[in-house]
A and B are shown apart, each in its own frame.
Chain A
């Protein structure tokens, strides 16, 4: 388990443009099967290559909701409280193709996530964290924004 933030973020100590953190997430086909089972989204484009190609995709792609759900963990750990994320939205701009690396230690794709303070609302006591999410050098999410309620 990751440690919670030692000190919860305080609105008065934040400013727009401040980076809250960054991380890389390795993704495998096995992760997509796990997400399919956990979420109930069994669309075969996320686990069957032939099917994905037949519907004119480059191959198996990650669930957009997997990418969205994994990317926000940077914000949850920074806030120190999963329930502090009161609003979270994104657009899915580019698919994330995940190569079949079964039987190796290699990831099938890597997500790179950077979070910065996009806006502060002193009255509502919230911070909007803007996430930059890229894979293989391409932005895969746009307008990925999480609104966090601060103490």
Chain B
């Protein structure tokens, strides 16, 4: 099934709030082999000025990929998840993410480009606190491989 070119410009509004838990930050930090104490120890984080343990630089991918899942699950998108390869990723942090944050993500489909039998899709998640404070902007490009790609 071909990728729907009309996806470009589509916006998926924030779905459910993502609750950033202390144990999730620790679990994610271990998973990326992070060793800085500010990910694990509240006192170490507070000595650097954070309210609670601070997330690794790529933690926002959890929130971003939940937002992306809306697009992938959209029957109008035509995306076969098993043929998706991650091509590019960027995180811009307006402020660090800490335990206790309650985050929302608005997903923008910035670009859809046909490539061979597949397509390159660039999405942007605008991650904010529940109160509307900007927290992070993440940009992902995924390549949906066509047959034989």
Q: Which residues of A contact B (CB under 8 A)?
A: 1-2, 4, 25, 31, 34-35, 37-41, 43-45, 51, 55-56, 63-66, 68-70, 72-73, 75-77, 80-83, 85-92, 95, 146
Contacts and interface: CB of A to CB of B under 8 A. Distances in A.
Contact of B54 (A77, A82, A95): A82
Given A2-B36, A72-B57, 17 more contacts: A38-B30, A39-B61, A41-B65, A43-B81, A43-B82, A43-B84, A45-B82, A56-B145, A65-B61, A65-B89, A68-B89, A75-B57, A87-B93, A88-B91, A89-B90, A89-B139, A92-B88
Contacts of B100: none
A88 B90 CA distance: 6
Interface of B: 24, 27-28, 30-40, 48, 50, 54-58, 61-62, 65-66, 81-93, 95-96, 139, 145, 148-149
Contacts of A65: 58, 61, 86, 89
A76 B57 contact: yes
Contacts of B54: 82-83
A130 to B, nearest CB: 15
Q: In terms of DSSP, what is the predominant structure of the interface of chain B?
A: mixed
Nearest to A73: B34
A2 B34 CA distance: 9
B36 A77 contact: yes
Given A82-B39, A82-B96, A146-B57, A87 B33 contact: no
A81 B50 CA distance: 10
A69 B55 CA distance: 11
B139 to A, nearest CB: 8
A102 B132 CA distance: 46
A73 B50 CA distance: 19
A136 B96 CA distance: 34
Given A40-B62, A76-B57, A90-B88, A85 B93 contact: yes
A91 B120 CA distance: 13
A143 B48 CA distance: 29
Given A39-B28, A76-B34, A81 B87 contact: no
Nearest to B88: A91
Given A41-B65, A65-B61, A89-B88, A76 B31 contact: no
